[in-house]
Structure 1
Amino acid sequence: MLNTVLKSVFGSSNDRYVKSIGKVVNQINALEPQIQALSDDELKAQTDKFRRQLDDGASLDDILPEAFATIREASVRVLGMRHFDVQMVGGIVLHRGEIAEMRTGEGKTLVATLATYLNAIEGKGVHVVTVNDYLARRDAEWMGQLHNWLGLSVGVIVPNLNEFERREAYNADITYGTNNEFGFDYLRDNMKHERRQMVQRPFNFAIVDEVDSILIDEARTPLIISGPTEDKQDLYIAIDEVVKTIPEEWYEKDEKARSIQLTEDGTEEIEKLLLEKGLLETQNLYDVENTQVVHHLDQALRAVHMFKRDTDYIVKDNKVVIIDEFTGRMMDGRRWSNGLHQAVEAKEGVPIEPENQTLASITFQNYFRMYPKLSGMTGTAATEAAEFWDIYKMNVVEIPTNVPVQRIDEEDEFYKNTLDKFAAIAKAIKEKNEIGQPVLVGTVSIEKSELLSQFLEKEGVKHEVLNARQHEREAHIVAQAGRLGAVTIATNMAGRGTDIQLGGNVEFRIGDELADIADDDPKKQLEIDRIKAEVAAEKQQVLEAGGLFVLGTERHESRRIDNQLRGRSGRQGDPGLSRFYLCLEDDLLRIFGPDTLFAKMMNSNLADGEAIGSKWLSKAIETAQKKVEARNYDVRKHVVQFDDVMNDQRKVIYEQRGEIMEADRVDDVVVDMRHDTINSIVADACPPGSYPEQWDIEGLKERVQDVLGMTPPIDSWIEEDHVEPELIEERLRQESDAIMERKMAGADAADWRQAEKGILLERLDHHWKEHLATLDALRQVVNLRAYAQKQPINEYKQEAFGLFERLLDTLREDVTRILMLAEIRMQPVQSQGLPDLPDFLTGHIDPLTGLENSNDGDGSMDRPELFGSLAGSPRAAVGPGGSDTHNPYADMEISRNAPCPCGSGNKYKHCHGAA
């Protein structure tokens, strides 16, 4: 109560912050007459003027008022749109690295040009991140006109670009693209072997459009690049044979959770069996060295004792095919992840297909936190403000609307069951349709959209159904959803980034209806004038009918998604109406359970087809939504906690790779590795503080022979008086250095340096890949330690640190062994590119379920053009058998065995280099 009174007197903290920004807006407005007086050439010259000021020591904040006034005037001249004062506030918020929450229709795309232009003047690059490639293209073309006019270059990152086109786009002052494309390019860059092959520049500033969708909704599923693993067929079969022999008393099953645990006695017995088969590296099953074996053992236990043939899967054409537990249909092409499918294949004795192994991965949280300055904009962020601050340290600022909102938000209506609810919805839509009021219906799934469509067909209501799979077609339909009598059914996420204008969208109608008329045809202007007149007249009719009616068929588990749907209506002060219809069978309402007071009251007080509405019920729904939001936040936080551990290691590895790629020579690194390896070998055989008679001399000689390929007189060294381990280390270092010097003397110095560099990078990548696989397996099993009253995340941190140290030790020894034992025959060094594209898969994998979740933010799933290849899909016009016989890469130094830069997926010698 006291807070309410204080807010009414002093305003909220958000109000006070927005008011403080008003002082800067006043400075911008004061400059407007001066900027308006400039000629076009003088206005274009402002960009160079600002760059000189920055070179002379001015900050971006110093030039902000004049820069914003410049782009406002340029927008008027180029686009015919002038930024409102509230849009200036939004631009300042974005420049400060905060989130601007702006209602739908307030012009977020135009707002972004302010902060984009100001920050791009530095020349360090600005990334504008969108939820799908249609919006990336649209915004780059639309707002690119403005930036190009002011002398800034604009690039766009979309699927099917080759490496050179990507590099050119990233080198532009401003780069538009999707979150997935940016993320996968980062991972791919850190798999390359030469700095010149990398496409991205160092991170500077990013503006994330629909920031809640990208940084919240998609943040649960990391981006993963994977490739086939080495053949583990013998391991699967051996573990399967062990698991099939164990009696029931050795394990406990949890049918509901579909999990299975070994008992204490069972663990001891299994250890014995695995040791007999030579599958364990140490005596204890749960030692970190046996992590992979434990992981595959768990999957084999599930496969043999939990998954049933002809219930969970069938064997068809000598392959294991999953059966959908809800529909009973075969799911051809789908495979269980994390080795489970391979375990079932071993159980059934069918050919075992290799797993896909993670080669590189990153969460969106850790990707976007690499930007020194990150900002975002959306219509709905306030409900997730705590998460934005906790994870990204971004403050959410609610920007006031340019014109007060006129939309009426009615109370929810509750029904007993789905059929009653949909009958009522169809009736309401028909009533609005008869008076010409346009209706936008939001559903939570494609199935619900189709069900409602059947009801409307019975009522004879003409309508459009969208499922957010084809963005360009979707944008055209959503843009016209405000026309007289229009009824549009869409999933709640559909159509983001496209305004619904009452009476229709003039630009979209011109594009759709006049596409066949040439621009210089005099008929075209007449037709444009006709369309504008029709839209204006139709808008007046829609306004009289009450504006856009937004109807929600059920509440989403997140209040934010409901607010997005509501925000479609009441754009720029237009009248509007919104209402949600709910029933006891809705997913969210089932949270209350069938035996709650809420459900009993509904069942006892409602007749069939009758509705009820009250603030108490709406409040109860909001409480349920808050609980689900909190749970989802916990899930995302859990994912990022585990990825933070890997992220620290990823930074070290990627930084090391970068230094190696940039270095002209790495001989000092190789020498240090060799010396460290020798020190480690001697320390293992001759522990510090021990007596010579306790030393493992035979083991020392074996290791020296194995790793260094040397047979020095260690016995005679030991016989000397007062011999110390340090002396043995020194002599081994001297002998190994002498051997390497002789090898280097017989080779060209430049070729030798390149060989060292190539071996170091290749081994680093190999061991990092194996390390990622071990961490994946560890993450799957570490939660079991909660049964021992231990925190899984703390256990994971500890184990992961130990594994990382082991990775570095193994890397040092491996590189030393290769260089010491290899017979060096120098050949012309070829540039190493990435492996052929078909060996790679990109995915957006849920780490908890293992299911692919390649969602581009608008509800569309499984889009091969976004996720099907490593460096873009093959380009139809350029490649083997294509129509383009010219080789645009002839003047470039490209290895014949490197992937062709056109993106075809073939080696250069089989593609453009074949001529």
Structure 2
Amino acid sequence: MRNDKERGAGSRTKTGGKSRLGGTFRNWLFNTAGVADTEDLGQLADSAAARADAADQDASTTVPELLTGLRATPENGKNPIWTDQQLEDYLFCARILVAESMDVTLFDTQLLAAANMIRGTVVEMDTGEGKTFVGAVVAGAHALNGRRVHVLTVNDYLAQRDAEWMRPFYDSLSVTVSSVSAAVSRQERQQAYQSDVVYVSVNELGFDVLRDRTATAPAQLMLQPFDVCIVDEIDSVLVDEATVPLVLAGRARAELQSVDVADFVSGLNPDTDYTVEADRRNVSLTDAGIDRAEARWPDVELYSAAGTPLFSSINVALHAQVLLQRDVDYIVRDGQAQIVSDSRGRVASMQRWPDGLQAAVETKEGLVKTEQGEVLDQLLVKDLIKSFANVTGMSGTAVAVAEYLRTNYLLDAGRIPSHKASIRGDRPEQIYATGTQRDAAVVAAAMEAHATGQPVLIGTHDVGTSERFAALLTGNGVTCQVLNARNDSLEAQIIAQAGRLNAVTVSTQMAGRGTDIVLGGADPHRENAEAEHAAVAALGGLLVIIVGRFYSRRLDAQLRGRAGRQGDPGASIIFSSMDDPAANGQETHGLELSDSVSGATDDDGLVTKVGVSTLLDRAQRLSEQERFTTQENSWKYNELIAYQRQVVLTERSKALLEDAAALEPYEFGDAGRLAELRRVLAGQDLIEVCRAILLFEMDAHWSDHLALLSEQRAAIHLRALGRQNPLDEYRRETIFAFDGFLNRVHDSARATLQSLPVKDGAVDLEAAGIRRASSTWTYVVNEDPFGSQSDQIVKWLLKKMGK
């Protein structure tokens, strides 16, 4: 049997036992919040593997019998938690069925991972260890149990690929499988969501939730009730993108008005009119800049409540002009400003900044402004995940965020040992005084390895840096492949060759997720593939060079993990500089790194002082913690809104699905008008008219509610001037704004029904103002990429007031 694509053939590896970890370290690790001991199920997984290895022709009879006993039936019912024996029986069947249907032998470690995930634990598995197969085995188990399963991926390509790739295994279980992507029609989505297992990207599922929330007829609904969720790259989804709002927007009922401040901002002078903080996450007007603004708009007092919209517009435009960098934060492609995800390095499909910032960037680049409209509904990724009854998942770096997963999702995470022990060599970090010196050292290291034929992967932070290094290498006679957001469609082709002899690949963080670099190339059937694999291994395997630390050690670890696949040799090294963001945050973190290395460098600029790397570790941890804090604050601001939305959706669902609920508001408030219309309209026609009006008013009031809360949030930080807690005040305002919401909806619905034109036995809903958005669109909001604009206003006001 072959074990390719994500795996390489190898001997059986025992997963059970307690001897892998030293006692002291083991006690510390498994006393850490959220960290699970996955080896508790090791003996069970080993037993299932041993049974499968020993199975003979009788397995053709044994497997169907066991599956029949495991399958949920009206008689057996659902059994969410199998006994240990049932779980072992299933893993035994899965190993045999994968071998028969896909000619692949599952590793013992894959069975161990599947066992833990079926029991609800998030697993950490290295690159190349077969996470896709593990996800399928877990999904198959829940589907057998009568559960409906969603496998959430990070993009449409993976959803389609994995569903088709795993289909033979699902067929062997008599489990139906499908995938959903942006290109799929509503009718096709409805059919796909009927399957036992559905592969779909996180964003696309979220958008379908939003679409269902605005359905005006039961036949328009696409989704089935949520049950089990398996998340690929779970730390990226549940941590990095947890508070990202998914948005459904429509053409505004009223034309949006905004103040054009682009010309004013473009004429401001750095240092004189504005200053940029050391970490480049905030830019602020100076007193001179304020004076210029007040001279430009003499009728507006910027530091008053009435001047807040103008002040915010200026700050937004200033952020776009100064802090958002082309080919770093976004690229311009096909006439659009496309955001680049800082955790994935890819173009963030369908993502945009809030309308004001999006428009400011488009103005800066001279692009046609994208259509703006009112937000009809929104959904945080965290709320989407929490709507499932059961959640699990896998990632290469899950244990690092185990405490976060435990605190926010009540999930535990545990590490699965590699099928073969890793022999990758992670070399000591090299820190240089300047970025120029660091870059020279990176090029020299890449050229030295390339001269021997060893493949090299250079990982960079952004598009511009990747292209700069490609130019430096080309200038030194080294041919290289570039992988970044500009050519992300070629990712599979480029990565397939990145492990070959003499290959040099320069990539952004997109090479750190969802890729598997095979030494000698990804095609095992290519002529001389085995010989080339051996030749590359003899040279030391893939060398990963990371140019500057990322904001999170997890991202560094993901890039390191491209080397050393399944026991292959490999090496990684980080080249940092005192110019990097990790060091630039020194003032924020009080580390004073630049002063500490003054004079402690060699002739090439290499920092020789001991302990600087440890200080960078601290700065990096603090940087990641700041992100967690920002996410937590964002969640707190949205938590109450999510609760209010559920209240509204409960009533909306009743109105959509129950005739009595659609009529109830009118019967209690305007029974006379209802009786009059009953004489004109047939019974069901009247119900549909009442339903259409009620749903329209409910959706319109909710959209207005979101707009009001958005305005309040933009200015709520001004309450800090009165020594009030902005979050507490925002919650108080949110509760007050929602008070009587449904009563107002019902009043509006009755008023509309009262004035509803009736002619020749028919009603004209459009004439009564019941008009749905002529077009709707979905996007993801990268909210407050530099922190709250209101925070900057408050800081300036406090300064002006001498506080």
Output the TM-score relative to the length of structure 2.
Answer: 0.80
Tell me the residue number matched to 2:131.
Answer: 108
Q: Within 2, Cα distance between the matches of 1:845 and 1:36?
A: 55
* Matches for 1:403-802 after TM superposition, within 5 Å: 403-494=420-511, 496-506=513-523, 528=525, 531=526, 533-593=527-587, 598-612=593-607, 616-666=611-661, 669-671=664-666, 674=669, 736-802=670-736
Tell me the residue number matched to 1:59.
Answer: 79
- Alpha-carbon distance, 1:439 to partner: 1.1
Tell me the residue number matched to 1:520.
Answer: none
Quickly say closer, same or farther: Cα 1:30–1:669, change in 2 above 3 A: farther
- Alpha-carbon distance, 1:766 to partner: 1.1
Q: Within 2, Cα distance between the matches of 1:307 and 1:369?
A: 32
* SS, match of residue 247 in structure 2: strand
Matched letter for residue 149 of structure 1: S
- Alpha-carbon distance, 1:364 to partner: 0.6
Q: Within 2, Cα distance between the matches of 1:104 and 1:192?
A: 41
Say if 2:738 is the partner of 1:827. no
Matched letter for residue 364 of structure 1: V
- Alpha-carbon distance, 1:847 to partner: 2.6
Quickly say closer, same or farther: Cα 1:141–1:342, change in 2 above 3 A: closer
- Alpha-carbon distance, 1:506 to partner: 1.5
Contact 1:413 1:582 in 2 (8 A): yes
- Alpha-carbon distance, 1:47 to partner: 4.5
Tell me the residue number matched to 1:159.
Answer: 182
* SS, match of residue 767 in structure 1: helix
* SS, match of residue 611 in structure 2: helix
* Matches for 1:171-570 after TM superposition, within 5 Å: 171-231=194-254, 258=284, 297-303=307-313, 337=354, 355-494=372-511, 496-506=513-523, 528=525, 531=526, 533-570=527-564
Tell me the residue number matched to 1:28.
Answer: 48
* SS, match of residue 548 in structure 2: coil
* SS, match of residue 588 in structure 1: helix
Matched letter for residue 675 of structure 2: E
- Alpha-carbon distance, 1:603 to partner: 3.4
Gaps of at least 5 residues in structure 1 are: 245-252, 262-272, 275-284, 286-293, 314-321, 346-350, 508-527, 675-735, 852-915
Tell me the residue number matched to 1:19.
Answer: 39
Q: Within 1, Cα distance between the matches of 2:200 and 2:361?
A: 40
Tell me the residue number matched to 2:280.
Answer: none
Contact 1:230 1:354 in 2 (8 A): no
- Alpha-carbon distance, 1:596 to partner: 6.2
Matched letter for residue 389 of structure 1: R
CA displacement, residues 591-642 of structure 1 (integer Å, 9 cap, x when unaligned): 2259965323433122442424676222111101110011000111111111
Q: Within 2, Cα distance between the matches of 1:99 and 1:752?
A: 51
- Alpha-carbon distance, 1:325 to partner: 6.6
Matched letter for residue 441 of structure 1: I
Tell me the residue number matched to 1:87.
Answer: 110
Question: Which structure has the bigger radius of gyration?
Answer: 1
Q: Within 1, Cα distance between the matches of 2:58 and 2:608?
A: 59
Q: Within 2, Cα distance between the matches of 1:342 and 1:11?
A: 50
Q: Within 2, Cα distance between the matches of 1:45 and 1:5?
A: 42
Contact 1:223 1:843 in 2 (8 A): yes
CA displacement, residues 784-809 of structure 1 (integer Å, 9 cap, x when unaligned): 21222222222222211111124223
Matched letter for residue 585 of structure 1: D
Matched letter for residue 845 of structure 1: V
CA displacement, residues 105-130 of structure 1 (integer Å, 9 cap, x when unaligned): 21111111221100012344211111
Gaps of at least 5 residues in structure 2 are: 1-20, 265-272, 277-282, 288-298, 338-351, 363-367, 788-803
Matched letter for residue 308 of structure 2: D
Matched letter for residue 609 of structure 1: D
Range that drifts further, 790-799 or 369-378: 790-799
Tell me the residue number matched to 2:340.
Answer: none
* SS, match of residue 603 in structure 1: coil
Matched letter for residue 432 of structure 2: Y
Say if 2:779 is the partner of 1:843. yes
CA RMSD, aligned part only? 3.8
Contact 1:411 1:613 in 2 (8 A): no
Q: Within 2, Cα distance between the matches of 1:585 and 1:747?
A: 74
Contact 2:484 2:510 in 1 (8 A): no
CA displacement, residues 822-855 of structure 1 (integer Å, 9 cap, x when unaligned): 3444439999xx989972232211232599xxxx
Quickly say closer, same or farther: Cα 1:466–1:54, change in 2 above 3 A: farther
Q: Within 1, Cα distance between the matches of 2:325 and 2:545?
A: 29
Q: Within 1, Cα distance between the matches of 2:716 and 2:391?
A: 33
Q: Within 2, Cα distance between the matches of 1:436 and 1:260?
A: 54
Contact 1:666 1:756 in 2 (8 A): no
- Alpha-carbon distance, 1:553 to partner: 0.9
* SS, match of residue 499 in structure 1: coil
Tell me the residue number matched to 2:70.
Answer: 50
Matched letter for residue 629 of structure 2: D
* SS, match of residue 574 in structure 2: strand
Quickly say closer, same or farther: Cα 1:375–1:614, change in 2 above 3 A: farther
Contact 1:439 1:487 in 2 (8 A): yes
- Alpha-carbon distance, 1:367 to partner: 0.8
* Matches for 1:118-129 after TM superposition, within 5 Å: 118-129=141-152
Which of 798, 801, 804 pairs up with 2:738? 804
Q: Within 1, Cα distance between the matches of 2:542 and 2:64?
A: 41
Matched letter for residue 702 of structure 2: W
Q: Within 2, Cα distance between the matches of 1:820 and 1:597?
A: 70
Q: Within 1, Cα distance between the matches of 2:210 and 2:118?
A: 27
Range that drifts further, 420-429 or 121-130: 121-130
Contact 2:72 2:144 in 1 (8 A): no
Q: Within 1, Cα distance between the matches of 2:43 and 2:764?
A: 62
* SS, match of residue 650 in structure 1: helix
Contact 1:406 1:570 in 2 (8 A): yes
Q: Within 1, Cα distance between the matches of 2:755 and 2:410?
A: 51
Matched letter for residue 22 of structure 1: G
Contact 2:432 2:577 in 1 (8 A): yes
Q: Within 2, Cα distance between the matches of 1:295 and 1:355?
A: 25
- Alpha-carbon distance, 1:372 to partner: 0.5
Quickly say closer, same or farther: Cα 1:784–1:812, change in 2 above 3 A: same
* SS, match of residue 253 in structure 2: coil
Q: Within 2, Cα distance between the matches of 1:739 and 1:10?
A: 73
Quickly say closer, same or farther: Cα 1:500–1:302, change in 2 above 3 A: closer
Q: Within 2, Cα distance between the matches of 1:42 and 1:568?
A: 40
- Alpha-carbon distance, 1:360 to partner: 0.9
* SS, match of residue 76 in structure 1: helix
Q: Within 2, Cα distance between the matches of 1:21 and 1:614?
A: 46
